[in-house]
Amino acid sequence: MTNGLEDVIAAETQLSDVDGEAGRLIIRGVSLDHLVADGTYEGVAALLLDGLMEKSFDEAELRALMAQARTRIFHHVDAALLTLPPFDAMRALLARLPDGEDLDTALSLLAAPAVFLPAVLRLQRGEKPIAPDASLAQSADILRMLTGKLPTREQTAALDTYLVTISDHGLNASTFASRVIASTQAGLTSSVLAALSALKGPLHGGAPGPVLDMLDAIGTAENAYSWLGEALDRGERLMGFGHRIYRVRDPRADALKGALKPLISTGQVNSARGTLAEAVEASALAILKARKPNRPLDVNVEFYTALLLEALGFPREAFTGVFAIGRTVGWLAHAREQALDGRLIRPRSVYIGPLPAAA
């Protein structure tokens, strides 16, 4: 009975489709491989939000609006939350934003994780937060707010690829959470806050940090097969593998692997990490096939996410927060689509507890 709602259809959407058998992701009629070729976060945001807000916009207009929103949001950074881990600090800051269904609320929510995460990370390192630069696109500005330096072209492109790749993905747990809240007409901030909370768990957006822990523990390619076997013997899951929908390779994994290549070829990342990751991937696929012959388990988005975000200088405790930066637009688009539909989501449960004693 507790099947995690597998195969239950809970919404109709025009936003994205995940074909788990073919390994294909479509976002508003465009396949992922087309979107990531020179795609920007602002471009995919304009696509996802088209027709769902009060007005439509092109990529350049949205880029300018998002940049203004980052500047507005920067004033909400509050050093008082520094005792919390980065994700929780970001969630607490976001929770204080006003609720609403309008464009300004949506833009503030698009800007919030992008501004809060670098600011929180800097404050926790004892550094001053860096104010947004409204002349930059969001990906370049995030990296600049994190490091204090203008990123290289390859770094900006890699972060854009990541944010585009994870912008929306069918009715995953956090998106469902966003739609449930939207169906109550609570407002976009409430929807995004619920989605953010759902994303935190290791079975959803919390896996890429543990992927790096796993790579560190394995250490060398020769060690991979035996280390992974012992982890499975202990009943552990291999982080970065398996997916509820995909029965083949997650197409997002290859998009991210592709985004890493220019960083490696230009010497901006140590190639040894990539070599180790490929060896671990090959060993994990072989061992999962041998141990779980009835369940096709392949690499998922989190595996190469971990390498990419590490290469861009994000600490591993911030990885789930970067995921949130990218996915916020999907949560917003789904929340608006749900709110416009107007029907409350209210499923039923089957009572399996004791019945009252007869009088």
Sites of contact with ligand COA (CB under 6 A): 4, 203, 207, 237-244, 292, 295, 297, 300-302
Each as own residue / partner, the long-range contacts of residues 260-267 (CB below 8 Å, 24 or more positions apart, any chain) are 260/158, 260/304, 260/307, 260/308, 260/311, 262/154, 262/157, 262/158, 263/154, 263/155, 263/158, 263/311, 266/152, 266/154
From start to end of 16-72, where are the E strands? 16-19, 24-27, 30-31
Q: What minimum distance in Å lies between the beta carbon of 175 and ligand COA?
A: 13
Whole-number Å distance between alpha carbons of 328 and 106: 9
Residue number with the smallest Cβ distance to ligand COA: 242
Q: What minimum distance in Å lies between the beta carbon of 169 and ligand COA?
A: 9
Q: Which one, 63 or 327, has the nearer CB to ligand COA? A: 327
Whole-number Å distance between alpha carbons of 234 and 315: 28
* Cross-strand pairs, 18: 25
Is 34 an annotated catalytic residue? no
Q: Which one, 26 or 92, has the nearer CB to ligand COA? A: 26
Q: Which one, 166 or 329, has the nearer CB to ligand COA? A: 166
Is 302 an annotated catalytic residue? yes
Q: Which one, 6 or 12, has the nearer CB to ligand COA? A: 6
Query: In terms of DSSP H, where are the helices of 200-353?
Result: 208-218, 224-233, 251-265, 271-291, 301-311, 319-341
Whole-number Å distance between alpha carbons of 202 and 306: 13
Grouping H, G, I as helix, E, B as strand and the rest as coil, residue 305 is helix
Q: Which one, 34 or 295, has the nearer CB to ligand COA? A: 295
Whole-number Å distance between alpha carbons of 17 and 319: 25
Q: What minimum distance in Å lies between the beta carbon of 158 and ligand COA?
A: 19
Half-sphere exposure of 349 (CA within 13 A, CB side): 5
Per annotation, catalytic residue among 42, 302, 310, 337? 302
Q: What minimum distance in Å lies between the beta carbon of 241 and ligand COA?
A: 4
Type of residue numbered 326:
G
Q: What minimum distance in Å lies between the beta carbon of 354 and ligand COA?
A: 29
Q: Active-site positions?
A: 243, 302
